[in-house]
Structure 1
Amino acid sequence: MEEIVNPGTSSDLWSGGSTAVTAILINGKVLWIANVGDSRAIVSRRGKATQISVDHDPNTDAERSMIESKGGFVTNRPGDVARVNGILAVSRTFGDKDLKAFMNREPGIKDVKIDSHTEILILASDGISKVMSNQEAVDIALNFKDPKKAAKQLVVEALKRNSKDDISCIVVRFK
């Protein structure tokens, strides 16, 4: 007889994890960005892309020190990206319970003033940033007045460029 396991009690439930980026606009003047991992926030002013969030790379001095201070390690195998304990390619996530003891769960938080020159905000997963630069993403998005169409086109372009990672994107137009 096969045992039926209630998913709510399975020890494997929630063993995965994710990165995230979010934004909130206060009074139309200040944009607050929070992120964990390599999901990214990019703002365009006068057509120039500026990355607001910081990708949480385990190979940076601060992130590596934090991981090692908690008993973890960072691998740097040739032909691969740096990985926490040889597994995870970012140093901050939510979930990933098996690596939780070695990682910082605090999001990076930044604020940016929104002015008359601010055109768009792009919130995107690394499926986009791995295959195009921030400026390329802005250039594509600025071709569309409709932010939904701009986001769809960024996804289409990432697929054309053979992105192998998750692809998600939101575009917010300020003017």
Structure 2
Amino acid sequence: MIESKGGFVTNRPGDVPRVNGLLAVSRVFGDKNLKPYLNAEPDIKDVTIDSHTDFLILASDGISKVMSNQEAVDITKKLRDPKEAAKQLIPEALKRNSKDDISCIVIRFR
């Protein structure tokens, strides 16, 4: 592992990312001692779902770190079944060497 001055420790394949020796997942709970090293602000967008909305992709950062939103949309558009679309996004993220948690739900509206 390589430690930087900020206290962040990078991860090797199979390793768990840590901050100051603690699991990085603690950022979800807002640990005050980790706030200087992590951004716990969620990425929120207010979007109106209307008759023109085809689907919604809910994906973890294991997907978003290795492909753009548009790339995920392009993969999802090709498949009518939302379960199959989610099943396509996960191996695509793995193929792109995602090292983070990978989960995905596709909700189709029409």
Shorter-chain TM-score: what band? 0.5 to 0.7
Match of 2:14 in 1: none
Residue 143 of structure 1: how far off its partner (Å)? 1.0
Q: CA RMSD in A?
A: 3.3
Unpaired stretches in structure 2, ≥5 consecutive residues = 11-17
CA contact (8 A) 2:57 2:106 kept: yes
Rounded to whole Å, the distance in 2 between the matches of 1:104 and 1:157 is 26
Rounded to whole Å, the distance in 1 between the matches of 2:86 and 2:32 is 33
Match of 1:144 in 2: 79
Match of 1:20 in 2: none
Match of 1:124 in 2: 59
Rounded to whole Å, the distance in 1 between the matches of 2:41 and 2:100 is 23
Task: Specify which structure has the higher proportion of helix.
Answer: 2
Identity of aligned residues (%): 62
Match of 2:29 in 1: 95
Query: In the alignment, is residue 115 of structure 1 matched against residue 47 of structure 2?
Result: no
After superposition, the Cα gap between the structure-2 partners of 1:96 and 1:111, relative to the gap in structure 1 and judged at 3 Å, is: closer
After superposition, the Cα gap between the structure-2 partners of 1:105 and 1:157, relative to the gap in structure 1 and judged at 3 Å, is: closer
Residue 131 of structure 1: how far off its partner (Å)? 1.1
SS in 2 for 1:111: coil
**What is the TM-score with the length of structure 2 in the denominator?**
0.65
Task: Specify which structure has the higher proportion of strand.
Answer: 1
Unpaired stretches in structure 1, ≥5 consecutive residues = 1-73, 81-85
1:1-175 equivalences under 5 Å are 75=6, 87=19, 93-95=27-29, 97=31, 99=33, 107=42, 109-175=44-110
Match of 1:52 in 2: none
Residue 106 of structure 1: how far off its partner (Å)? 6.6
**What is the TM-score with the length of structure 1 in the denominator?**
0.43
